[in-house]
Structure 1
Amino acid sequence: MKTYHLIWRVIRYRPWLYLADALTWILIHVFPVVPGLIIREFFDMLAGQSRLDLGIWGLIALLAATAMAHIANIAVGALVDIRHRFTMSGLLRRNALESMLASPVAGGAKSTGETVNILEEDAKQVEDVISWSFDMMGMTAFAIVSAVILIRVSPQLTLMVLIPMIFVVMLAQSASGRLEKYRRESRRATSLVTEAMGEAFGAVQAIKVANAEDRVTAHLKVLGDRRREAMLKDKLLSRILDSIFENASKVGTGIILLVAARYLRLGALTVGDFALFVYYLDNVTEFAAFFGYFNVHYKQAGVALSRLGSLVKEPKELVENKPLYLAGRLPGMRTDELDDGDRLVKLTVKGLTARHSDGEHGIEDVSFELLRGTFTAVTGKIGSGKTTMVRALLGLMPRDSGEVFWNGRPVEDPRAFFVPPRSAYAPQVPHLFSDTMRNNILLGIPEGEANLQESIKTAALEEDLADLEKGVDTPVGPRGTKLSGGQQQRTAVARMLVRHAELMVFDDVSSALDIETERQLWQALADRKDLTYLVITNRRGVIMGADKVLVMNGGRVIAQDTPDELIRASPELRAILEEADSGGV
């Protein structure tokens, strides 16, 4: 979509707010027409050429009243504009975040640093341009009204006002392409720096172990130098154009004033007319400068919108009409209640195919069934496609083909469908937040709606909590760094359990556990006969305790049956278990 199409859609989100903001600021910019006429009358009165019979004090009182009205108008305009600005940028950020959370592909290639930079800087760029459009409209209205008045004073002098305006318009148009290119380069360079810094901060230990401090610093210096060069080009060209726009109008003002002085000596202008011309001229020429300035930022807003569009599947998603909560209490978390028809009876997967971006690795034609209350293990050597299969099933990566059925009904949007209370998922490396263990488990669920203690017990965390100083209220540190790997995994399991999901999907969540803790965990889970499990694992104890095992190799399910049958019939499973027992898988 074109830049102006997207901006128009943002405007239409809250049309009455936009209209109120626009009218207020148009009035603010047009308002100086009135003081100009009062000033003309004041100077004409001093020269004995008054058109009104108000007297000096009457004109001073009128001028003071208009000034107070102007101040009040600006105060109202500021309040309306603040609300409108937050609404515009808030909509863009809200929709971008929703799309990123709902889509397996939107924003997937962006680092955290680059994403934050886009949401902060680029959303503000669009907000600025829409807000400045009011100034552009107001200045245009003032230029038209004042031009009509000035033409009646002196057509020749008014014509000269157009000279700097034409120059500015031509210059702005000629520089627009280069401006857009420099802005893209500077924003991209900034994203690379923030991305590299974020990765470095997240891998401090790995950098120190590898003795790579100097190389990482040198890499950051290279990226910083590139960013400085790109930013310099962007800022320098913008400042040069701003300076030209501003000074072109001032040069034009000087030329016009010199010509006006000659008209004044010849008696073609009154003193009041000259004062009116001087008063209006600064605002009219400021319009020329602001036109160029606005054109520059409009081009940069196009770059900002394209970067925001990279976070979503379709640019139009950025400007969809969605609820936005800027005041008052936020709505509570939405919790879906399943009726008896939605409770899992059978999950069917047919011909599931999904490939990674390289087009070579992935899964091919995967089919299987899960029945309610069963425990299904997925096993295979490293690179066999186990995690890819689960991610494609849950909609966490796009699938190329295949169908998924929940109780015989097709699942059209798996990413939106496979969420609590239908499904819960724990990845290989669980993500914990810098908060207490309690809040990491609940993640916003009211404690009264979650059986926290039972979930902690099932996840085999009770003994660990007893050893922690503050128990379940112990802060876990950034990304859970104060917990061991096994504690992090079991915290993720407890997080799943409090959500009362029908289908529990685990991706090797016991890899960091000792044998006894692992046995306790899986025994406690197996005792929950009301749940259905799909578990990625190569651990012999888990596989042999499963109701069914899927054996994967080369992205395909090459065998599926009970573990006892597969031990006899599948050389691949026997090889996996032998390698796992020796610590190789």
Structure 2
Amino acid sequence: MKNLQVLWRLICYRPILYSAATILWILNVLTPLPMGLLVQHYLNELARTQQLTSGLQRLNWLALALILGSGLCALSSGVLGRLLRFSVAQLLRRNLLQRVLEQPGASAFSHTLGETLSRFRSDVEQFDRAVDWSIDAVGHILFALLALIVLLKVSVLVTVLIYLPLAGVVATTQAMYARLQRFRKSSRQASGNVASALGEIFGTVQAIQLARAEQAVVEHVRTLNKRRRVAMLKDRVVEQLVNSTVGNITGLGTGFVLMLVAQSLHTFQLGIGDLALFLYYLPFVADFSKFTGTFMAHLAQTRISHQRLLAISQGMSEGKLVEYHPLYLSSSLPEPHLEQARPDNGLQELSATNLTYRYPESGRGIDGINLRVRRGSITVITGRVASGKTTLLRVLLGLLPREVGEISWNGQKVHDPASFFVPPRSAYTAQIPHLFSATLKENILLDQPETQEALQAAVHAAVMEQDVEMLEHGLETTVGARGVKLSGGQVQRAAAARMFARSADLLVFDDLSSALDVTTEQQLWERLLARQSEEHPLTCLLVSHRRSVLQRADHILVLNEGRVEASGTAADLLLTSSEFRAIWSSETEEASVHKGDTV
């Protein structure tokens, strides 16, 4: 889909709004046409009568009415144009965000977060400005064509001279087209690099402080800013060079026409009103010439923004980028659809065969993993650091795209794990949980309807009731970005409460107890086991190396370099697997204490 086709699709997204804004703007832009004819008739009549007649006074009132009407149309068109720009921008951002959410969670962003946000902001704005400027273009083109017809009736030669600079404007813009694109691309890339670096710095402040690398980081940011300044300066210089060249061509052409008309007034046989008509239209025609060059330059830069938006969408079709969806700008959001558990599809057995995934950057990952989780069982995945434990969970849940392998739920193949493994089928707590800058209650419930009994049960199961009492506003306490106001253990237990609030068939933990002390972990498991019943047995799949967890497990998978080295119960593995014995012996009570709840 070409750049102009994308713009047309965006224009058609709000056809009534666009049409209303365009019509009002056209009425405003075309006001100089009748105004020029009034001036022509007024001066010609005044030269003939040599006095202010009643007819001329009526022309004065008519001119005032045109001016007031033009101002009202411009104001109304501006308001509608702003609403149109906002709608177009939010449609693009909505479709881009949907594409991000459709990707496997662990690889949703093809670029850094800072670079992605930069493109969501700056490159989308390039499009909404282009749509807005297209309204200006329609008005300017109509005025130029109608003015051409009027002026040709007065003098063909002078009209040709007035419109001649337009050819120079188009030629100049075309000559600079490649440079405009190249420098805009470099400018956007440099800005994205700065945004990316700042995002990474803000997310790793403690690591930078511990490494005493503050000065090096500051120098790195300075270097990136210098490169951005140079790139943006080149981009702006080329843009202003085009604009100034266009303006100079238009100005020189205007001056030439004025000199020629003044010296040859009698040759052209123009009356004083005819001359005034040319002089009145001249600035507007010159403005059209200048606008044409600027708009063409903007379209060249918009093409770069189009390519950059497609680049962060990871294979998103161009049609999807401008696909129409409601935005609910003035209406209530629809109620979220919460899938209800189906008794006939409750978990009986989850199996995975030959699961394989390798990270493109390193080639590491998992290879040929077979897994089976039965209803009411606790299955533990364990292994040393970088053995593939977290990767296995992510591939199973669809957070990473599997290269090979099959996943089945009760014997039925799961084709899209990312959309399948959600409540009420399964709930997941990541190794590093994500909390939002909202209240603790909002972080636990998210899209769930608020039920006081269920909320309190989830908090109790996560061993958080005492923590909630100590918080300033209890569950209504705002926890800050990423739960910064909570300790590491509180963050993990808040994420666990979020999982428990969903009453899922399968609970998936990725090293949940890594930030919990021994006593808290013991309480959590006791409360979890107490919640189960014959109708709702506890089914867990988790990553852990804790002895207390391994002892509870019905089945253990021992991973080593992305493969299953051994499997069985803890008692069996202690006898048969040297790898498991090494993991078992490395987990001491002292290590458990050091990983306790700390702020």
TM-score with structure 1 setting the length: 0.94
| Correspondence for 2:47 | 47
Residue 548 in 1 paired to residue 549 in 2? no
CA-CA distance at 1:406 after TM superposition: 2.4
Out of 290-299 and 517-526, give the one that drifted further.
517-526
2:357–2:367 contact (8 Å) kept in structure 1: yes
Out of 213-222 and 466-475, give the one that drifted further.
466-475
The 5-angstrom pairing of residues 186-225 of structure 1 reads 186-225=187-226
Q: State the AA in 2 paired with 1:102.
A: E
Out of 286-295 and 458-467, give the one that drifted further.
458-467
Q: State the AA in 2 paired with 1:129.
A: A
SS of match in other structure, 2:324: coil
| Correspondence for 1:579 | 586
| Correspondence for 1:35 | 35
| Correspondence for 1:484 | 487
CA-CA distance at 1:179 after TM superposition: 1.1
Q: State the AA in 2 paired with 1:42.
A: Y
| Correspondence for 2:292 | 291
Out of 440-449 and 370-379, give the one that drifted further.
440-449
Residue 10 in 1 paired to residue 6 in 2? no
C-alpha separation between the residues in 1 aligned to 2:401 and 2:200?
26
CA-CA distance at 1:88 after TM superposition: 0.4
1:455–1:497 contact (8 Å) kept in structure 2: yes
1:264–1:271 contact (8 Å) kept in structure 2: no
Q: State the AA in 1 paired with 2:455.
A: L
Change beyond 3 A, Cα 1:269–1:180: same
SS of match in other structure, 1:451: helix
Residue 437 in 1 paired to residue 444 in 2? no
Question: What per-residue deviation string (whole Å, max 9, x for no partner) do you get for residues 361-412 of structure 1?
Answer: 1111222222223221111111111111111122212221222222333322
Out of 198-207 and 89-98, give the one that drifted further.
198-207
C-alpha separation between the residues in 1 aligned to 2:46 and 2:107?
69
Question: What per-residue deviation string (whole Å, max 9, x for no partner) do you get for residues 324-363 of structure 1?
Answer: 1211322333322232234323222222211112251111
CA-CA distance at 1:561 after TM superposition: 2.9
Question: What per-residue deviation string (whole Å, max 9, x for no partner) do you get for residues 147-173 of structure 1?
Answer: 111111111111112321111111111
Out of 229-238 and 201-210, give the one that drifted further.
201-210
Q: State the AA in 2 paired with 1:580.
A: E
The 5-angstrom pairing of residues 513-532 of structure 1 reads 513-529=516-532, 530=536, 531-532=538-539
| Correspondence for 2:173 | 172
The 5-angstrom pairing of residues 318-337 of structure 1 reads 318-337=321-340
SS of match in other structure, 2:406: strand
C-alpha separation between the residues in 2 aligned to 1:301 and 1:417?
38
Name the count of aligned residue pairs: 583
| Correspondence for 1:427 | 430
Out of 445-454 and 268-277, give the one that drifted further.
445-454
Residue 356 in 1 paired to residue 363 in 2? no
C-alpha separation between the residues in 1 aligned to 2:108 and 2:370?
29
Q: State the AA in 2 paired with 1:277.
A: F
| Correspondence for 2:243 | 242
C-alpha separation between the residues in 2 aligned to 1:280 and 1:408?
78
| Correspondence for 1:63 | 63
C-alpha separation between the residues in 1 aligned to 2:412 and 2:19?
47
| Correspondence for 1:155 | 156
1:100–1:106 contact (8 Å) kept in structure 2: no
Question: What per-residue deviation string (whole Å, max 9, x for no partner) do you get for residues 78-134 of structure 1?
Answer: 232122111100101111112112212775133332222211211111000011011
C-alpha separation between the residues in 1 aligned to 2:412 and 2:70?
64
Change beyond 3 A, Cα 1:275–1:127: same
Match of 1:535 among 521, 532, 542: 542
SS of match in other structure, 1:239: helix
Change beyond 3 A, Cα 1:342–1:157: farther
CA-CA distance at 1:283 after TM superposition: 1.1
Residue 97 in 1 paired to residue 97 in 2? yes
CA-CA distance at 1:24 after TM superposition: 3.1
Q: State the AA in 1 paired with 2:549.
A: V
Q: State the AA in 1 paired with 2:448.
A: I
| Correspondence for 1:396 | 399
Q: State the AA in 2 paired with 1:356.
A: Y
Out of 483-492 and 344-353, give the one that drifted further.
344-353
Residue 496 in 1 paired to residue 495 in 2? no
C-alpha separation between the residues in 2 aligned to 1:111 and 1:425?
24
Change beyond 3 A, Cα 1:409–1:319: farther
C-alpha separation between the residues in 1 aligned to 2:541 and 2:8?
47
| Correspondence for 1:568 | 575
CA-CA distance at 1:315 after TM superposition: 4.1
1:107–1:311 contact (8 Å) kept in structure 2: no
C-alpha separation between the residues in 2 aligned to 1:236 and 1:260?
35
Residue 451 in 1 paired to residue 454 in 2? yes
C-alpha separation between the residues in 2 aligned to 1:16 and 1:560?
65
| Correspondence for 2:147 | 146
SS of match in other structure, 2:514: coil
SS of match in other structure, 1:336: coil
| Correspondence for 1:79 | 79
2:21–2:76 contact (8 Å) kept in structure 1: no
1:263–1:269 contact (8 Å) kept in structure 2: no
C-alpha separation between the residues in 1 aligned to 2:415 and 2:26?
49
SS of match in other structure, 2:327: coil
Change beyond 3 A, Cα 1:267–1:323: closer
2:443–2:498 contact (8 Å) kept in structure 1: yes
Q: State the AA in 2 paired with 1:135.
A: D
Q: State the AA in 1 paired with 2:585.
A: E
SS of match in other structure, 1:424: strand
C-alpha separation between the residues in 2 aligned to 1:15 and 1:488?
48
1:380–1:538 contact (8 Å) kept in structure 2: yes
2:101–2:108 contact (8 Å) kept in structure 1: no
C-alpha separation between the residues in 1 aligned to 2:202 and 2:256?
58
Change beyond 3 A, Cα 1:267–1:203: closer
Q: State the AA in 2 paired with 1:577.
A: W
C-alpha separation between the residues in 2 aligned to 1:375 and 1:31?
78
Change beyond 3 A, Cα 1:18–1:404: farther
C-alpha separation between the residues in 2 aligned to 1:107 and 1:273?
65
